[in-house]
Amino acid sequence: MNNLEERLATIYGDAAKLQIDSSAAGTAVALFLPLSNRKSRMSVVRAYLVDDETLALKRLARLLRETGRVELVGSHTDPTKALAELQALPCDVVFADIEMPGLSGFEMLSKLASQPLVIFTTAYSQYALQAFELHSVDYLVKPIDPRHLDRALAKLERILNGAEIAATFGEALGTACRRAARQTRVPRPLAIAPGRPYRIRRSRPRHTLLRER
């Protein structure tokens, strides 16, 4: 439940609201999303890069520029200095290495007051599970394949444009609804529409119907 709320806050800030009301009659779960994400108006993604390896940082910057889809707003090889810049520099996504001296990519991101979307870039595959537990957009293993970078950017753009709402939150919200309603299954897939709340109605024991309010 907390993870779902954190994910909503990461993408929509204060514009999204998750509301759960329980009573003897049942449990109502409403998810309110903005009809248009403020970030969707931008045609170019603003990115900040952090990697202690200069050559890797330059190569990633070159690959991103070549796509024509990314504006580089800053970069640094020192994660401590990058942290200071990120505190004041608005961006849509951070491309972050993980193993760096002083601060790891995970530690650096944990110190940010506002959590940005992140794509991890690393030479090691063992951090993948931890990265996705932090809701990273993608996890790219160096040397970065341009095709994998293109896939990550496509996913990032879908998230920023709000097209990943159902895919990203459907299963998580369905789980939250089932827990809130104390039942075992929802009879049909959960689809999320911007600005439209949904209600959980209990029809009989162990069976809950999801209906639009």
The whole-number average pLDDT for the span 178-183 is 52
What are the strands of the beta sheet with 138-141, ordered from one edge? Answer: 70-76, 45-50, 93-96, 117-122, 138-141
Q: What is the pLDDT of residue 124?
A: 87
> Of the spans 49-53, 87-91, 188-192, which averages the highest pLDDT?
49-53
Start and end residues for every CATH 3.40.50.2300 domain found in the chain: 40-160
Give yes or no for residue 207 having a pLDDT over 50: no
The whole-number average pLDDT for the span 94-105 is 95
Q: How many CB atoms lie within 10 A of CB 134?
A: 17
Residue 179's contacts (CB-CB under 8 Å, 6 or more residues apart) are 1
Q: What is the pLDDT of residue 183?
A: 44
Give yes or no for residue 187 having a pLDDT over 90: no
Give yes or no for residue 84 having a pLDDT over 80: yes
Average of per-residue pLDDT values in the chain:
75
The whole-number average pLDDT for the span 187-204 is 48
On the CB side of 206, CA atoms within 13 Å amount to 0
Question: Model confidence at 8, in pLDDT bands (50, 70, 90)?
Answer: low
Nearest-angstrom CA–CA distance, 187 and 196? 20
Written as six digits, the tokens of 82 are: 């990058």
Residues in the chain: 213
Nearest-angstrom CA–CA distance, 29 and 47? 35
Written as six digits, the tokens of 126 are: 């063992």
Give yes or no for residue 173 having a pLDDT over 80: no
Q: Which helix (H) or strand (E) holds 130?
A: helix 128-133
Domain 40-160 matching CATH 3.40.50.10490: the answer reads no
Residue 90's contacts (CB-CB under 8 Å, 6 or more residues apart) are 46, 73
Residues 82, 107: contact at Cβ < 8 Å? no
Residue 145: DSSP 8-state: P
